[in-house]
Amino acid sequence: MAISTLSKFTVPLASSDSASNQGLLMPKLQYRFRLTLENFGVSTPTTELTKQVVDVTRPTVGFEQMTLDVYNSKVYLAGKHSWEPITINLREDVNNNVQKLVGEQLQKQFDFYEQSSAASGQDYKFVTRIEILDGGNGANQPVVLETFELYGCYVENANYNQLSYSANDPVTVTLAVRYDNAIQSPQGTGIGTNVGRSTGSLVTGGGA
């Protein structure tokens, strides 16, 4: 009897949407994630970067506003979209693996010694993959619950942060990563999945 009451620990739903076992599902947890960078830098593998990630921001997308002046009113439509840069914080290791890979990536984007630029984005752009995991490890392999794949990435800003005699923290480097597009997988779980659109309705939301 006591266990059955756990299904009551949630928001009450309408009778048509309700069920006897409507309890809360396990949430995704912020600390169960994995970040990988594909074609980042020159050295391989880039797994040391994955191991030294402190935190990462998830993608943010926004739409420019289009305003249509129509007689006595205004109508607002979604214009061009843009993705905001994500931020990756990395610990620097004593073997300089992180520093080396970050430096290689920056050199691919711009040769600081020769003062020459890359010929095209294909010469330096990389893929960022942010996966949310279920917590499995070792013999129990983790299940990927969600993946954000960011395409056309480059390092917009690399901040090597500060050193301090009074601090007891690891040395870190913070990367701001700009990208062209982002897709969620598996298909059917979010951005990038084809959805039907109604046609023939007025842009104001009215219909016949």
Instruction: State the DSSP string of 55-70.
Output: EEPPPEEEEEEEEEEE
Residue 66 lies in a domain: yes
Average pLDDT over residues 161-169: 96
Determine the average pLDDT of the residues in 14-23.
63
Domain of 125, CATH number, reads 2.30.110
In a domain, 206, yes or no: no
As beta bridge partners, residue 146 has 132
Task: Assess if residue 204 is contained within a domain.
Answer: no
Q: Kindly state whether residue 196 falls inside one of the protein's structural domains.
A: no
On average, the pLDDT of the chain sits at 89
Task: Name the residue range of residue 58's domain.
Answer: 26-185
Nearest-angstrom CA–CA distance, 186 and 191: 10
Domain assignment present for residue 199? The answer is no
Does residue 56 form part of some domain?
yes
Kindly report which listed range (5-14, 109-118, 132-141) carries the lowest average pLDDT score: 5-14
- For 81-136, write each residue's pLDDT tens digit: 999 999 999 999 999 999 999 999 999 999 999 999 999 999 999 999 999 999 99
**Residue 2, pLDDT above cutoff 60:** no
For residue 20, pLDDT over 90 is answered with no
Write the CB contacts of 121 (distance below 8 Å, at least 6 apart in sequence): 152, 154
What confidence tier does 158 reach under pLDDT thresholds 50, 70, 90?
Answer: very high
Read off the pLDDT of residues 27-64 as tens digits, 9 standing for 90 and up. 899 999 999 999 999 998 899 999 999 999 999 999 99
Q: CA–CA separation, 57 vs 84, rounded Å?
A: 10
In whole angstroms, give the CA distance from residue 180 to residue 125.
Answer: 10
The pTM of the full predicted model, rounded to 2 decimals, is 0.86
Q: Which tens digit of pLDDT belongs to each residue from 170-179?
A: 999 999 999 9
Number of structural domains (the chain) is 1
